[in-house]
Chains A and B, each alone.
Chain A
């Protein structure tokens, strides 16, 4: 390639200035498309194609065994009258509304603690990140036992204080709260992102505020939070999308139960597609999921103009 390139450039040099430049630019453009071509192919085959295909599929009934049958809007009609669909939406919405802000707040507090110059701070950072590194399946398997009412770690600890623990994953009332509590354990990624944001907050601001008599709590809300608001925004968006992707934990720990108390959206989508073989119905669900995520993301971006502060002016 390089030899050919040299030859080409050499030939072009002898010509007039304008044609040479434009043909160099053409060559560069041609190369550019060549370099990104894997992405273009991947985008068409694994993103755009499936997106279009799933629109078409959403209007069919198809169990993969017999040929697909056109059913018009029947899937969507069924979806909006399906109590399990609404249950899945409710479970996911509760999780997104409670776990995401809770985890963000905990991660920001933790990051502020970890952002100090203390002896052994590196060890603390490693410890708090450790749960995030564990495979989701391992986390699910271990926590399933930790929540075990009789021999689990949590109820054993509660028993030391003579508090009778709930049935956790076996109780319709406590299963979702159990998963929300558990989500606090894996806030490592958000914490690391906050740490990166906090390192851009000048220490002088805190010192000046401290001299003016602002306590740590006040400084946290008035200085830290506004200055790391871009990181909060990033974590909020990724956390929200993540909430709509929750699968492994309920699949392994509860199977969606008891009484569908932990039937997350993607879990129900998975069951429809791969347990019941309702490909059309699952595609309709996937499209609803897509619309929900787009709408929520757009709303977040709109709202962000009111509270996200970019030190360098508008964000790129």
Chain B
């Protein structure tokens, strides 16, 4: 933005020292603002990590020390052994994996139908898909709970992922967009060669939309991992808790000010780590998905 003025060379030489420096100033200013903003944004995260490593006798030091002395790594051991952590982790991994398989797999098939096959009422039905995207699940929460209770699925993992096997509106929408950007000639050529619709989807289209599938896999991973309200409603026995429920259960008996904050923070770091790592390693796909949803929204 700032380096776009085309200035004759002779003029540049005549410019004063200040004018030349000031051409870089907007960039410097932006860096300064962004760095300051980054500090503000990172402070709570840094505080969480710092607290998780503090000795119990130094929790309330003032002014607070950002780098704890001594560093107590064993806080993590204590936090994770204070609850059946591996059991909760396994529960969460199972629910997350099923959610990913269910929502990505079913949405793929459904989106193909909407993008590539012609049938009466298709566009009206697709509008309905879009409309359900705006419907918060809290609106249907009570009857859905009663339905699952009737099926005797309460206090099982089934209500947490079975509905996702029937497609996720946002994913259907996103995949349809991606399918529409793949030239239809590819399908037609395959069809002439005797390929079925299923074959076209799995052999022609899926390889073309791999980045989109990666984005959806990441979305569904993070949403399932982070989910709190569904497990809260459906899971009763503590052996079936997911990590988010466990973290909440971990904190509830604690009064503010009680000196277990370091263990709480250690557990928080552990629960937050998988989505953060996935995000770091697959950022590009993830951001792409968010952007597409906004542009075409």
| Residues of chain A having any CB pair with chain B under 8 Å | 1-2, 5-6, 25, 28-36, 38-43, 45-47, 49-51, 53-54, 57, 64, 110, 113-114, 116, 118-119, 124-131, 133-138, 141-146, 148, 150-151, 153, 156, 159-160, 185, 189, 192-197, 200, 203, 206-207, 210, 230-231, 234-235, 237-238, 241, 244-245, 247-248, 251-252, 266, 269-270, 273-274, 279, 282-283, 286-287, 289-290, 293, 297
Contacts and interface: CB of A to CB of B under 8 A. Distances in A.
Contacts of B146: 53, 57, 64, 279
Of listed A145, A230, A273, A279, residue having the most chain B CB within 10 A: A145
B45 A130 contact: yes
A126 B37 contact: no
B140 A47 contact: yes
Nearest to B250: A141
A195 B291 contact: yes
Contact of B166 (A38, A64, A131): A38
B142 A148 contact: no
A31 B197 contact: yes
Contacts of B251: 141, 144, 252
A137 B142 CA distance: 22
15 contacts: A1-B196, A6-B194, A31-B197, A45-B166, A46-B140, A49-B143, A131-B45, A135-B225, A141-B248, A141-B268, A145-B264, A151-B59, A244-B138, A247-B229, A274-B145
Contact of B275 (A133, A237, A244): A133
A269 B143 CA distance: 13
A138 B271 contact: yes
Interface stretch (B13-21, B76-84, B120-128): B120-128
Interface string B232-258: 110000000001100110010000110
B280 A126 contact: yes
B139 A137 contact: no
A32 B134 contact: no
Contact of A203 (B1, B119, B167): B1
Given A53-B146, A136-B226, A38 B268 contact: no
A316 to B, nearest CB: 8
Contact of B268 (A36, A142, A196, A247): A142
B189 interface: no
A22 to B, nearest CB: 12
A110 B37 contact: yes
Interface of B: 1, 4, 27, 30-31, 33-34, 37-38, 41-45, 47-48, 51, 59-60, 62-64, 106, 109-110, 112-114, 117-120, 122, 125, 128-129, 132, 134-136, 138-147, 149, 163, 165-167, 172, 194-199, 222, 225-226, 228-229, 232-233, 243-244, 247-248, 251, 256-257, 261, 264-265, 268, 271-272, 275-276, 279-280, 283, 287, 290-295, 297
A35 B110 contact: yes
Given A35-B197, A38-B106, A148 B30 contact: no
A175 to B, nearest CB: 13
A2 B195 contact: yes
Contact of B226 (A64, A135, A203, A206): A135
A41 B199 CA distance: 24
Nearest to B105: A38
Nearest to B126: A36
B154 to A, nearest CB: 10
Contacts of A274: 145, 233
Nearest to B256: A148
A33 B141 CA distance: 28
B139 to A, nearest CB: 5
Contact of B44 (A31, A133, A185): A185
A51 B140 contact: yes
Contact of A142 (B44, B128, B163): B44
Contacts of A200: 295
Contacts of A143: 44
B143 A50 contact: yes
Given A2-B194, A125-B287, A203-B4, 6 more contacts: A1-B196, A31-B197, A54-B143, A118-B27, A118-B31, A231-B294
B64 A289 contact: no
Contact of B297 (A31, A144, A234, A252): A234
Contacts of B117: 28-29, 31-32, 35
A50 B134 contact: no
B7 to A, nearest CB: 13
A115 B259 CA distance: 43
B194 A290 contact: no
A137 B290 CA distance: 22
B246 to A, nearest CB: 9
B136 A29 contact: no
Nearest to A110: B37
A257 B102 CA distance: 38
Of listed B109, B120, B256, B275, residue having the most chain A CB within 10 A: B256
A159 to B, nearest CB: 7
Given A129-B279, A156-B64, A207-B1, A279 B142 contact: yes
A36 B106 CA distance: 9
